[in-house]
Amino acid sequence: MLVTGASRGIGAATARAFAVAGDRVAVHYASRREQAEEVAAGLPGDGHAVVGADLADADAVAAMVDAAAGALGAIDVLVNNAGIYEAHPIGATTYAEWQASWARTLGVNLVGAANVTWCAVQHMLAAGRGRIVNVGSRGAFRGEPEHTAYGAAKAGLTSFGQSLARELGPRGIAVMTVAPGFVQTDMAADYLAGPEGDAIRAQSPLGRVATAGEIAAAVLYLASPEGAMATGTVLDVNGGSHLRM
């Protein structure tokens, strides 16, 4: 199985969860190769791989997925976890900054994930089975002020997954999305440690944010044989911080 953005946070926790379950994992990184190698070295079992690519580079994505498949012998599970989260408040950025931030965010979070998926699906189709779990966000449904490209990308990723679930179901491939709120990771550390941290935790009736391990457990279930009937669905794992019908 292949996990993108697995050098830290949710991706690293997901890699560990699958390895504990007995899977061989390809740990993807964009720039943190040393951290990805540390994650892979710490996984139980053997046969794991480390693969790198800038997900905004379509050619690099294709080479990365093929390298993962070559190292593992197959790709039966893909977890699209990699993402960037950068602020671009519409009233405080220049037009050039606005365009650049949108291009970077969609290039990784949506188009990059779509390209990884296309490449991985070719291997799944050959085997006649597969699971794809997209790591979305509650921001796809409640909005992401000052991070509009992120919210838009996650909404697009959710729709992308639902469309593929309908297209690929007859081919033995299930596609789902897990939608966390804030998670205790390096990416969120500054927000959670800053003056807004208490307010963020108070958004949940549980009074806290999720751990990366809790998100990984949800991904593991969705990718399991028992999770097949969840294809096309979105599993909210946000501690009740955002509720929707």
Give me the DSSP letters along the chain: -EETTTTSHHHHHHHHHHHHTT---EEEESS-HHHHHHHHHTSSSS--EEEE--TT-HHHHHHHHHHHHHHHS---EEEE---------TTSS-HHHHHHHHHHHHHHHTHHHHHHHHHHHHHHHHHT-EEEEEE--THHHH--TT-HHHHHHHHHHHHHHHHHHHHHGGGTEEEEEEEE-SEESHHHHHHHHSTTHHHHHHTSTTSS-EEHHHHHHHHHHHHSGGGGGGTT-EEEESTTSS---
The residue annotated as part of the active site, out of 29, 85, 95, 150, is 150
CB 89 within 8 A of CB 105: no
Average pLDDT over residues 4-17: 98
- Find, among 8, 15, 34, the residue nearest to 185 by Cα: 8
pLDDT at site 225: 94
Averaged pLDDT for residues 27-55: 97
pLDDT band at 33 (very low <50, low <70, confident <90, very high): very high
Task: Please say if 191 is a catalytic residue.
Answer: no
Q: Residue 217: CB partners within 8 Å, gap ≥ 6?
A: 17
Rounded to whole angstroms, the Cα distance separating 100 from 184 reads: 28
pLDDT at position 193: 86
Confidence of residue 154 (pLDDT cuts 50, 70, 90): very high
pLDDT of the residue at 219: 98
**Domain 2-237, what fold?**
Rossmann fold (3.40.50)
* Predicted pLDDT at 164: 98
Query: Cβ-count burial of 118 within 10 angstroms (0-12 exposed, 13-18 middle, 19+ buried)?
Result: middle
pLDDT in tens, 155-205: 999 999 999 999 999 999 999 999 999 998 887 788 788 788 888 999 999
What pTM was computed for the model?
0.95
pLDDT class of 106 with cuts at 50, 70, 90 = very high
The pLDDT value recorded for residue 108 is: 98
pLDDT exceeds 90 at position 127:
yes
The predicted structure's pLDDT at residue 185: 86
- Domains of the chain, residue spans: 2-237
CA 210 vs CA 79, 160, 183, 227, 239: distances in Å:
18, 25, 5, 21, 7
